[in-house]
Amino acid sequence: MTASDPLTETPLRAYGGETGDTRVSRRRATLIEATLDLLAESEAGAVTVRGICARAELTPRYFYESFTGVDDLVAATYDGVIAEIAEKTLAGFAVGEELPEKVANAVRALVGIIDSDPRKGNLLFADTLRSPVVAAKRDESTRLFVSLTTRSAIQATGLAPGPEITAAAYFQVGGLGRILAAWTQGALELDRERLIDLCVAMMLPHGNDGSSAAAR
């Protein structure tokens, strides 16, 4: 399907060797990058269309070709970070034979994302981002990672599905999130590898089989 300019409803033409769809995607990515910048610098409520467009060096016309408003853009920015984390942590978990190695690979992938781009850690964990959109997205992402953690644990250990293993997943996801929040905000003086080792040890508290009293 050919992309259309929402202001004219005419097909977007190729320009300078770049298709209309590619230009729209590039501008969308630029707006998301600008949003990550601004959210890292201020509270979510201070982010405006004008500010985002100024940072992205785009006019509002190009903002509205992809987003209906700031909330829509913030939600898309958050979703993009969560999709990246889900993809890389699941890929990490899939590598290795034993559960501790799988968990370590998944945690290493997650820590690598927020360490290499602090803006993403800020979006996930900063207390200053109290907008309803961010709050809702954080709740949504918690449920997603609880589901992924539960599924991965069942596949790796053979444990039967049930409320106990779901509760354990909530405990692990919530605890890991608070540790990473403290680390990104400078409250934990740990280097990257010590942080990863600590998180893995706390997520596998009953030994290398990955089981816990709550999941038995």
- For residue 11, what are the β-bridge partners? 4
pLDDT at residue number 17: 54
What 8-state DSSP symbol labels residue 75?
H
Mean pLDDT of 148-177: 89
CATH class held by domain 71-215: mainly alpha
Name the amino acid, one letter, at 178.
R
pLDDT at residue 87 greater than cutoff 80: yes
8 vs 149 pLDDT, higher one: 149
CATH class held by domain 20-69: mainly alpha
- Rounded to an integer, what distance in angstroms lies between the CA atom of residue 157 and that of residue 211? 8
Is the distance from CB of 209 to CB of 99 less than 8 angstroms?
yes
What are the structural domain ranges in the chain? 20-69, 71-215
pLDDT at residue 117 greater than cutoff 90: yes
